Amino acid sequence: SIPDSSGFISFCNPVFSITPSGIYSEEVEVQGMRWKLLLRKKSESSNLEVYLVHRTCESGPWSVDVSAQFRLIGTSGEWHREREFNETFHNGRSRCGFSEFMLWSDLISKNKEFINAVESLTIEVRFTLSNVIGISRAIDFTDPD
């Protein structure tokens, strides 16, 4: 099981839908915070970009340290590319990741190693939060503890 301070997103998406404005995964909630994975590419000759994004409605100062590991999963189910970061998210920075995760031409030309028969690719991110400051968490009044 995943600890309360950790999250996991697996995002399988059609390649043709990855645009300059990007496409987002479903949200997951970790420690009362909402997180998504963002995939995008600026042009046909550019890179696949991957980002972990925090959606916040906090109006005051907040910050959280995040350790994240991104993986590109091949059609065989094994991961082929991995990138990691340890960053602080805060009021002015709610997104972090890699603008050059992989060259788009390498991604689509490697004998369908990364893109499956339905022209989709899978990116996963595992992340852990620490030092959460200024984030309001919902209180569960039904929990006796």
Q: Would you give per-residue pLDDT tens digits along the chain (145 residues)?
A: 455 899 999 998 887 778 888 999 999 999 889 999 999 988 766 888 999 999 876 667 889 999 999 998 877 777 778 899 999 999 888 899 999 998 887 777 655 566 655 577 889 999 999 998 887 665 556 666 5
Bridge partners of 130?
Answer: 65
Domain definitions of the chain by residue range: 6-133
> Would you tell me which CATH number, out of the four given (2.60.210.10, 3.90.1310.10, 1.10.1070.20, 3.40.630.10), belongs to the domain 6-133?
2.60.210.10
Closest CA to 91 of 61, 66, 54, 65: 61
Phi and psi at 108, nearest 5°, equal -95, -5
Q: How far apart are CA 83 and CA 97, in angstroms?
A: 9
Closest CA to 65 of 86, 94, 79, 51: 86
